[in-house]
Every structure is written in C-alpha cells, then in structure tokens.
Amino acid sequence: MGILPVLFVVQASLAPGVPGASTPTGDGPSGLATRIQEALAEFGAGARFPLPPLGDRRVHQLLRGEVVRMRDVPEDPERPQRVIGLRIADLPRDQVWVGYRDPHFVLDEEVAERRLGPPGPRERWYGFLDLPWPFADRQWVVEVEDNVALAEATGNRAWERTWTLAADGPRAVAAAVADGGVPGVTPDMAARAIYTPVNHGAWLAISLPGGRCLLGYHVTSVVGGGIPDRLVADFALARLRSVLGGIVARGHRAPGHYGAGHAPVLGGDGRAIPPLLLPPGGP
C-alpha cells in the first residue's frame, strides 16, 4: 500500500489535446467534462473518502492532458493536509487497476511492504520507509478494504479501495518482521522506527464510456518525529507526476503479463479481473 497511496481512475473518452484521444460523435469536450463531473458526484455519494469538487478549470486541465495537483487544506490548522493528483491516461480501467494491484509490479521502490494474511477485498499491510540519516525510519500497519457497497450501488461504475491505520498496528509490527518476511527490514530496524500517527486514503476507479482513464492519487499522512506536516505534504505533492506516471507504465505492461496462468487480481468490486490479452500482432 505504501505511504503515498491513492489511485483514482475514470474510464473516459479523451477530449482533443490529450495524446491518443478520440472524441465520439456528439460528445465534445464540454459534454465529456459534464459527464466526468456527474460521475464524480455519483462516486462521492457513497465513497468513504470523497474528493473535493474539482471545478470547471481543473476538469478542463485534465482534458488538455495536464496533471492536476491539489492541496486539500482543512479549516483546522492543526489537522494534516491531503494531497491529490489527477491525470488522464490512454488505458482502460481494468488494465490500470492491474498495474496498481499486481504483486509483481513494484509500486514504490522506497517502501518495503508485506501483506499480512491472504489476499482479498479486506487485507492488512505492513509498510516500512527507510529514511536517510539523520531522520528515523517510519513504519505503519494499515487495514485495506474494497468498498464493495459503492460498486454495487453504482452498477459497478465506481470503485474505491480504502486504507486506514490499524487500531492494533504498533503491537502488530514485531510479528510482521520477526520471520524476515519484509525484505531489508530487521527486527532491530523496526524497533527503532517511528510509527506514523496518521496515514489514510483510497484507490478509486470510476468508469465512463470510451475505454480511457482518469488517474488520481491522494494521501493524508503525518510521519511524526518532528518533521512538519506541511513538509510531508510538499514532498507528496512533488511526487505526484512520477507516481501517476509509474501506474500508467505498469498498466501498459499488464496485457500479456496478466494472463490465464496469473493469480487473480481483484477489482474494486471484490471480484477477479479477467485476464488481459495482448492485441493481435503483439504489443
């Protein structure tokens, strides 16, 4: 899951200005913008972590192929900021979701992770972030859950996969690393690491006609240990382009890799995504 998770995916036909775009007859940029706003409203009605309103300016940034980066600042200055990033990619939702969830793809090379238990719509994950001196390393245990009720309520158009810190997380750390199951993390390293006091967010997927994707990522995190919350938000904001670009790159590699012999990857509806076949003639 990582310290910087969230993917937001909207299948959509692209407006002019986005590489590879094709606009269906009668559905120009203004029509597509309206449909995206409607889909986001439907998602927000049942999401555990809704997105703030984008506004016309940001939606049209997406239609021009730009990365939209937002800082969601709460009214209470003592509360941490949420960082959100969005971009349109030329891949369908399921392909991007495999790029995110396939265990063979590395989501964040700076984070060592381990799933604690079997895969499924509800999972528990341990994460460890190795920071350079003089900063102490960070670690967390999160509960991850597919919002199956949202998928059902929206006719499987909207997916949400949330994560929150586990209530017994600090007590679960020792068992997570005791058997060497987290590469590069020893029990001594875990004993010295700081447990993050805030870490939550969600991966999302909202389907629209056209077979394209609006990718997004958001995170709310406090890492503790004297590192200011705003600095954490600044760091996350600066990484949004590379994080989203990495998801797109992995999605491009998914067909052929995620075939009939591959272990199932679950979608946001809790069901296995069908195998992704290579197009005729290969990649």
pLDDT, tens only, 200-240: 998 887 876 678 877 888 889 888 877 777 787 888 888 88
Tokens of 154: 């929206």
- Mean of all residue pLDDT scores within the chain: 84
Write down the architecture of domain 8-257 according to CATH: 2-Layer Sandwich (3.30)
Residues of the chain above pLDDT 90, percent:
42
Q: Which residues of the chain have pLDDT under 70?
A: 1-29, 208-209, 279-283
Q: 44-81: per-residue pLDDT in tens?
A: 999 999 999 999 999 999 888 888 899 888 889 888 98
User: pTM for the whole thing?
Assistant: 0.84
Listed by start position, the domains of the chain span: 8-257
